[in-house]
Amino acid sequence: MNTNFEIANQNASGLAIQRNRVLRNTYMLLGLSMVPTVLGALVGIQMGFSFLAGSPFMAFMLFLGIAWGFMWGIEKNKDSGLGVALLLGFTFFMGLMLSRILQVALGFSNGGSMIALAAGGTGAIFFTLSSVAAVSKRDFTGMGKFLFVGMIVVLLATVANIFFQIPALSLTIAVAVVGIFSAYILYDISRIVQGGETNYVSATLAVYLDIYNVFVSLLQLIMAFTGERD
């Protein structure tokens, strides 16, 4: 009886160590992934990068195709160094794509402060929600299906607004994205804590996308409400 109890304790301890290792490695790789993101954004700003600006729908579809191609490759090679290399390449590409909205923000007289506010707000959201998921030990993975449906609705609304160009809908989408991907931070960190995600490369990809989407939409909202022209 005691032996069984000891084995159970050892198994539980082993699982806890594994989960903590995955969480720690995820945070380390997430921090590393911000370097190529910033580099990509700086290169994009210096180049005046604009991704098929004349055709927003084609640009959006091409962006999705490239992004999904990267994500497929990352998942396919998540257990090797190639997966990490592809992830860092993907974050550079995402930084390049980020440069467009940063260029728009920097066109405002208070552009730098708006970008800093969006970055600070995103950091605060991530720190708060990841701490809740990691410390509370509560299982938030049940939100998965609801969040996926919400993400699909937002994606369809985004495609529709490429044609309709309704400012109020753009703001509504931005608010929804901040809410959905903030909740995804809870979900993705909870998956690691609960043992549902055991690969730190996959975990980093998921959390990176959460943070990226929150930052972009938060910046859109801040520009809409506080942007100042010269």
> What letter does residue 165 receive in the DSSP assignment?
-
| pLDDT at res. 136 | 84
In a domain, 28, yes or no: yes
99-116: pLDDT as tens digits: 999 999 999 999 999 999
> What letter does residue 139 receive in the DSSP assignment?
-
Number of domains in the chain: 1
Question: Residue with structure tokens 């090679």?
Answer: 77
In a domain, 39, yes or no: no
122-179: pLDDT as tens digits: 999 999 999 999 888 788 888 999 999 999 999 999 999 988 889 999 999 999 999 9
In a domain, 71, yes or no: no
In a domain, 61, yes or no: no
In a domain, 70, yes or no: no
3-state secondary structure of 77: coil
Mean pLDDT of 2-10: 51
114-124: pLDDT as tens digits: 999 999 999 99
b/e sequence 116-129, b meaning 16+ C-beta within 10 Å: eebeebbeebbeeb
| pLDDT at res. 53 | 64
- Residue-number span of the structural domain to which 211 is assigned: 2-32+101-226
In a domain, 52, yes or no: no
| pLDDT at res. 54 | 66
CA 198 to chain centre: 19
Q: Residue 8: which pLDDT band, with cuts at 50, 70 and 90?
A: very low
- Counts of helices then strands in the chain (DSSP H, E): 7, 0
In a domain, 64, yes or no: no
Distance from C-alpha of 88 to C-alpha of 3, rounded to nearest angstrom: 46
In a domain, 53, yes or no: no
Among 7-11, 56-60, 65-69, the minimum mean pLDDT is found in 7-11
